[in-house]
Structure 1
Amino acid sequence: MPIAIAGSIATDHLMTFTGRFADSLVVDQLDKISVSFLAHRLEIRRGGVAANICFGMAGLGQRPILVGAVGEDFSDYRSWLERHGVDCTSVHVSETQHTARFVCTTDDDMAQIATFYAGAMSEAREIELGPIAQRVGGLDLVLVGPDDPEAMRRHTQECRDRGIPFVADPSQQLAFSDGEFIKQLVDGAEYLITNEYESHLTAQKTGWSQDEINDRVRYRVTTLGKDGARITGADIDPIEVPAAREVTRADPTGVGDAFRAGFLTGVNSGIPLRQSAELGSMLATYVLETIGTQEYELGRGRFLERLADSYGAESAEIIAPHISCPHR
């Protein structure tokens, strides 16, 4: 059952500076600043919300459809994703701009100087979902994640017009959006996924109460960090799922994307909502334990063992027939 994941596709260039930025900054001369820092380490990581979610879904045996805009420099990244089971046929390639890029330098105080280049992402607004649906024989669900704002608006409205259920996942764009724009992204969603802070920000900016937001979506999924996740909906009792047990903590970047990947895998496979959230939480733990958003490896046996340890044998038995972990 085809699921399209629309959103950002980017590469992260992460550098480390041994020292303190503060030692090289003159407060009363910041309007004339001209300074450079010698970084001793560079890590280039694959990223972007949509690409991270697709990678996680494919790792569990799904065949997600990646929807977004990139530059011609995407070829190596495309090969990586396709080797891991992601359908990249519908990715738009810009003729003039590079793939979005996040460049960040971190000092010994964990202070950061960063720049985000949107680049080709601005062309995501040119993508139409109709031809994608026609190519794959219809879409059962579309996740509209953080992306070019006009692309998010277009994808959401097209889902409404075509009767395609959609997941509203505005995430980082909430901070930069006004209430009317957020209303357009949320209203009528099959699922609204936010973290707890974003949940309150959505209410504050739209002027809708939490009950009014609940009335406008079928299910609401709220991630709670170390406390797991909560699912509410008009036709279900509230579901509380604790976080899966972790082995270690390495880097929290991409944890929310992995939760979405596991949750959508469960939903797409007909797994009950509670077990879908448990699947998402377990996958999120793999990312937490790994540096990089797409560097973890899944082995089906070990994955199910850990899932049973966190949520019980019954949960693992429900989930087991629906995951294959084919790209270890």
Structure 2
Amino acid sequence: MSLLIAGSIATDHLMTFGGKFADSLVVEQLDKLSVSFLVEDLEIRRGGVAPNMCFGLGRLGLKPVLVGAAGEDFADYRSWLERHGVDCSHVRISDSRHTARFVCTTDSTMAQFASFYPGAMAEARLIELEPIVAEVGEPEYVLIGADDPDGMLRHTEECRQRGYPFIADPSQQLAFGEGDLIRQLIDGATILFSNEYESHMIEKKTGWSAEEILSRVGTQVTTLGAEGVQILRASQPTITLPAAKNVTALEPTGVGDAFRAGFLAAIAWGVGLERAAQVGCVLAAYVVETVGTQEYTFTAEQFLARVDESYGPEAASNVAPHLTAIS
């Protein structure tokens, strides 16, 4: 069985502003907004939702398959991911566009202004899943993350047609997608990922109630930031878990991707939804404590200690047998 992770491939240009954006914004004049912020530093990091998730899965000992489109400037990034256990052999390389770029400034309150250049990401719509599956085997899941909207739709429709279990994670594309697109992307998903704000946006744009959304997906996983995570299933008790303990937040970019990676790794291990959320929260803690989305490191012993610290010895004992592949 394989785990296919489809989504944007990008580099992140991350800047830090020492003040508060809110101090420079005049609510009555937002229609004439023109502001500039003197940033304190610039970090150029590897990013994109799909490689971020793949990196996290690789750090936990899995061998995810990256599905997406990049430019010819992807060579160094490919080498990095492959060194960390990611199968990049099915990435489409554009002959005319650069790899996508995410440019983000974060202020002292963790508020962010961001821009995204899609570049080669637009060619994700040209990728067919079936030839990939023919080489890597039937997928346990196909996660369809934020990407070229036509590519996301194509992958979702192909999963339905071919019977591949898929995970809907539209995230950043929710702000731009219309209700019809969002309905098509989430209907029939085995798992729907979103944060709390995105879950309300899904309801508003689709016109579906929370109950109707839940009836159309197998499991709805909603991250709640520092408050943890909530897991909903039709006719099942709600699972609500706190975030990992003793986290020193430094930079939030990529935290959601890390949570998803940890969650999916634990699902692949077969340890259940509660443990999956706990593993996701611990992996997310490593990212929020680091500048960049793929700069964190840990040993199996360190990871297990954080699981124990946050969720107790029983959780740690359930997870421990699956961490032997961590280098």
TM-score (norm 2): 0.90
Task: Identify the residue that residue 228 of structure 2 maps to in structure 1.
Answer: 228
The residue correspondences of 1:170-209 to structure 2 (distance < 5 A) are 170-209=170-209
**Corresponding residue for residue 62 of structure 1:** 62
Structure-1 separation of matches of 2:16 and 2:247: 26
For the residue of structure 2 that corresponds to 1:42, the secondary structure is: strand
> CA offset at residue 112 of structure 1?
7.5
AA aligned opposite 1:322: H
> Please, what is the CA RMSD of the aligned residues?
2.7
Counterpart secondary structure, 1:143: strand
Say if 1:298 and 1:325, in contact at 8 Å, map to a contact too.
no
Q: Identify the range of structure 1 (104-113 vs 288-297) with the bigger mean alpha-carbon deviation.
A: 104-113
The structural deviation recorded for 1:235 is 5.4
- Partner deviation per Cα, 1:53-92 (whole Å, 9 max, x = no partner): 0000100000001101000000000000000001101111
Cα drift, residue 117 of structure 1: 1.5
Report the 3-state secondary structure (helix = DSSP H, G, I; strand = E; otherwise coil) of the residue aligned with 1:12: strand
Taking only the aligned residue pairs, the percentage that are identical comes to: 59
Query: SS where residue 139 of structure 2 aligns?
Result: coil
- Taking the TM superposition and a 5 Å limit, the aligned residue runs for 1:259-270 are 259-270=259-270
CA distance in 1, matches of 2:259, 2:303: 14
Residue of structure 1 in register with 2:160 after alignment: 160
Change over 3 Å in CA distance of 1:58–1:18 after alignment to 2: closer
The 2-side partners of 1:188 and 1:316 are apart by 33
Q: Distance in 2 between matches of 1:122 and 1:88?
A: 18
User: Where do residues 61-100 of structure 1 align in structure 2 (5 Å cutoff)?
Assistant: 61-100=61-100
Cα distance change on mapping 1:39 and 1:206 into 2, 3 Å: closer
Which one-letter code corresponds to 2:184 in the other structure? Q
8 Å CA contact 1:13, 1:103 repeated in 2: yes
Mark the runs of 5 or more structure 1 residues left unpaired by the alignment.
Answer: none
Answer yes or no: is the 8 Å Cα contact 2:110–2:252 preserved in 1: no
Instruction: Return 5+ residue gaps in structure 2 as ranges.
Output: none
272 and 124 in structure 1: CA distance in 2 versus 1, 3 angstrom threshold: same
User: Per the alignment, in what secondary structure is the counterpart of residue 268 of structure 1?
Assistant: helix
Match of residue 138 from structure 1: 138
Cα distance, 1:116–1:307 mapped onto 2, change above 3 Å: same
Q: 1:111 to 1:258 in 2, by over 3 A?
A: closer
1:106 offset after TM fit, Å?
7.0
Give the structure 1 partner of residue 127 of structure 2. Answer: 127
2:237 is paired with a residue whose SS is: strand
Q: 1:223 & 1:40 partners in 2: Cα distance?
A: 30
Question: Distance between the aligned counterparts of 1:114 and 1:169, measured in 2?
Answer: 19
Counterpart secondary structure, 2:238: strand
Q: Label 1:290 to 1:39 Cα distance change in 2 as closer, same or farther (>3 A).
A: closer
Where does residue 214 of structure 2 map in the other structure? 214
**3-state secondary structure, aligned to 1:87:** coil
Shift of 1:298: 1.6
Q: Paired residue for 2:103? A: 103
Cα pair distance change 1:165/1:61, threshold 3 Å: same
1:246, 1:289 within 8 Å by CA — same for their partners in 2? Answer: no
Q: Is the 8 A contact 1:50 1:66 kept in 2?
A: yes
Q: State the AA in 2 paired with 1:276.
A: A
- The corresponding residue for 1:307 is 307
Q: How many residues align?
A: 320
| 1:220 Cα offset (Å) | 0.7
The answer as to whether partners of 1:308 and 1:316 remain within 8 angstroms in 2 is yes
User: Structure 1 residues 79 and 209 mapped into 2: Cα distance closer, same or farther (>3 Å)?
Assistant: same
> Do 1:299 and 1:325's aligned partners in 2 also have CA atoms closer than 8 Å?
no
Once the two structures are superposed, what CA deviation does each residue of 1:2-44 show, in whole Å capped at 9, x if it has no partner? 1100001100123568999999xxxx9x99x9x9999774321
Contact 2:17 2:40 in 1 (8 A): yes
Instruction: Quote how far apart the aligned CAs of 1:128 are.
Output: 0.4
Would you say the 8 A contact 1:146–1:171 is kept in 2?
A: yes
